[in-house]
Structure 1
Amino acid sequence: MKEQQEKYKVLLVDDEPIILRSLKVAIPWDELGLSIVGEAKNGEAALQQIQQTAPHIIISDIRMPVIDGITLMKEVLPRSAKLIFIFISGYGEFEYAREALRLGAFDYLLKPIDHDELVEMLKRARERLDRQKENEQLMLSVQTLSLLARERMLAEFTLGNPRPLQHLAWLENSELEGEYFMAVVRLDDYAALTAQWSAEEKRLWLFAVRNILEEWSLTNGALSIFPFYNGEWILLFPASLNDGKRELGEQLIAGIKRYSKLNCSVGISRSTSGIDQLSTVYPLASQALYQRFYSGQAGVFLEEETAAAGNREVQYPKELELSLIESIRTLNMERMLTLFDEMSVFIEAQSLPQPLAERLMIEMSVVLYRQFEHLNTHNDWSIEGLFSKLNGLGTLPDMMNVLKTTFRDWLEQSHKTAAREDGRSIIEKVQRYIESNYHKDLSIEEVSEVADLSISHFCTLFKQISGYTFLEFVTHCRMENAKYILRSSNVKVYQVAPLVGYQDPRYFTQVFKKATGKTPTEYREEHVKQA
């Protein structure tokens, strides 16, 4: 049947004639089910050829005169999203190649061209085109949604919140009406990785992993794939693949490791059916991943095995977990510490042996740690380090003390981070500090350190929010307190000066008169008469 199908069309674009000639003769186009329908020497000529020939694959040099390869792709892809771009680049053009991949290129190869590598690349491109063709009927049912909307829809159901999407009645007959199971793919040590990456590097790495997963899912029977939390993706598989769950997970781990050098773990749920069950199986797959911290290494963790591992049923304190999550979300230290005490009482009341108590605390810690990830306030904190401390302790009070101390430190740092991001909070804190220390020899360097800001940034922010310069506010505090002392006591004027931060009484009198229009003596006499 495949011999009777129309061949996929290929357009070659390069400003070097020798490369065009070698591509035409060195690649077995007929064997690959491909045909060359045109060639162009630059992007401008390629645009005309694309309109005339409607190719499926474009092999293009990345750097060309007039219009380069990336500009060509950016011009064409919005109109032909299924078009496959393969770029040829030199060794000094890696940044261009990476930009091309980010913008939607299928792949790239370096000069001098390895023809065997290109053949393998074209085979994968052919497989993608075949897959797209086979799925055209299925895709008709989702053309009313963009990819982002579909992912959002699946994420909403996974979160157990289908209400905003009830009008999408066509989903009642979706592929999820049959039995399926969920795999949650999560990058290991994600917090440590993001601490190393810049914002741009983070986007590129997550984009790369997603591409790897999408390519893999096309040929391995996945029903759907979508990102959930940062560093985490969900894949859905038909129940017919149930017997090969572990192998699927191992393939996912190996693929991500091979193409991105990143480590990940996979948690896999039991089978279910219906899109409304996404929120039921996600916690199962996610909880299976807790075993990652017991094993100490990346792996595949099946929910059925995780459930069977416990030798007794334990009532999980879900309400306590939700309350702890809320205390962290609101940065409520006192509430969080009180809830940890309640956890200790719960464990004692259950009379749990140490292994089960430790397991419960680890599961709770993972959930709470992820809240700090969602808040984006964590630094280089190590949850594995926390688990090592717990593992080395022998009593419940010692274990709970480590939990409380660790999460208290993390919450304090989160407070500092939140305050650092809130200029008004910073300045209010500084004003309180000045009001408590105005009588000392305050320097702008000292107060800038309190604000954890550079001197120039502090000066700008302080003036912007308070309306005073630093010196004006210090003087204001000193004068207000001097007036209070003069009104409320018989302390001699020369004794008032050091009480409000001035060692020279004459200088104090000059500053006071400039601020109030009166000398300290005149101010006191006026207010004594009024009294």
Structure 2
Amino acid sequence: MRGIKTVIVDDEPRIRNGIERLVVSNGEEWEVIGVFSDGQAAYEAIVNQFESIDLLITDVQMPIMDGLTLIKKLNSESHDFFTMFISGYDDFKYLQEAIREGAIDYILKPIDRDKFQLQLDEVKERIRNKQKEEERRKDIEERALQLTYAKQIHHLSELTWNDETDFSLMDWTFQFPKGHYKLVHIDIDQMLSKVKGVSPSGLRDWHFAVEKMMNELLVDGFGNQEVQYWIWKKGNVSFWLLLLHEEPEREGTSFNLLMEEYLLKLKKKIQRDFPFTVSIAFGNEFEDLSLLPAMRDQLLSLMKFRIIEGGNKIFHLSTLNNLSNEKTLMMPSFVYKYTEKTVNAVREKNEREVIQAITGFFHELETLKSPLLIQESIQYLCIRIIKCWMENDGFGEEINLLMKAIQITKKSANLSQLKEGIKEWVTSLVNRLMEMEASHSDPISKAKEWILHNLSESITIKKVADHVYLNPTYFCEYFKTQTGETVLSYVTKTRLKRAMELLEKTDLKIYDVSVSVGYQDTKYFSRLFKQWTSQSPSQYREKYHNLSV
């Protein structure tokens, strides 16, 4: 048990010093942390200097601020401690009010040493009981936090393992704190070659050491920033990190700077302490946790830039811009000429001119002798087309488009096949741009209509966003701005409204109602229904039928 922190306040030096001696002589567990001659000085020290106190011993009548005023002010500010008053017999009327303010005992002047020590023993027992209760409460709270964290990690891990997650399985996101999130993926470079021959226990040791390093650097790196985080693994040496902070993302904000410093330190420390390097991908800020699958896919796509850039790198969405700038050196002038023709044709959504520009590009490409130069020229063309795509609202994160182009270059056996593959890829983008333009008139209504007609099917953010030809992140932000609610909240509300209609107008079993609105787990559906309506499905049906009789 820790010491009993005591503060003494009395305007008479002799009494003040005498009480201090009596308290200290009562045992080593008593600790006098402050002695004051008036209530004002004691108040300022308790509020501004002392982290906590256990016992306040104060005179009733003092100049500047009396003891009763002192305890009233501290009580109004929710300070939690025991109080003993020192008083003469003629102060009894004050003692009555002091007891109403929570004082547990009083000491009459002149102070009787033996009686005072008995009083302190009684107070000590009450303080010790309170401390034990606080420790029990803290232990319970700590275990509850650990359990909550474990459940959160379980949900996050499932979300990053599953390819697509239906909204019906994402209601747990409502239990996460509100704020501004960033997702980070840390992945070992050349994993298959690096872990070859390493025992399972060796891999577990690596995993434990890297996770410990991540935690330590997070604590050291973010200091007093209000940051929460969750770390979970993918395999033995690949990690996901979710960060939550209060302030919105702005260029140059302290959080962003600290995060970039943290990732750089982590990458360097892993390279120094382990026989491998890692690449790190991180995305933009988001508030809606139902976006996690889309953010996960974005980071996994960013990791594929290792094909071009190599490992031991930190990748962000700006990587695409950097690549475009880097690939403009040492290439023939025709590459720029036909690339700009292709990009302009894509902007104009002119499929015929796209085909002409790409045909000219590959015709000139056949004159090159260097396979490396041919590869870089094609990469430059693809990157510029993607940047053109990014100019359309909400498409700043379609990294997968570049990956598709790179896959075409890898699978093609010759330039002829490569030309046809690239031509097909670009013309498909032009067609999609035309479809997007036609659908952008009212994406919210189109999305709501699609959701309403697919309640019994698996509904994911990607499916809804694809239906209206918008990037998932942009679509979620646009939907919330236009409607005032998240897509997840809208889907859940729409499903439960439909369930209420079925309960009112049909005799379907609860299981059939659950499945018809997209919930395969009837218990989960019933629990969710009760959270939203304060009634179970059967109670709701019974109440409705009774009212309609």
Fold-level match, TM-score > 0.5?
no
Which fold has the larger relative contact order, with Cα–Cα distance below 8 Å and residues 6 or more apart in sequence?
Answer: 2
For the aligned pair, the TM-score class normalised by the smaller chain equals: 0.3 to 0.5
* TM-score using structure 2 length: 0.32
* TM-score using structure 1 length: 0.33
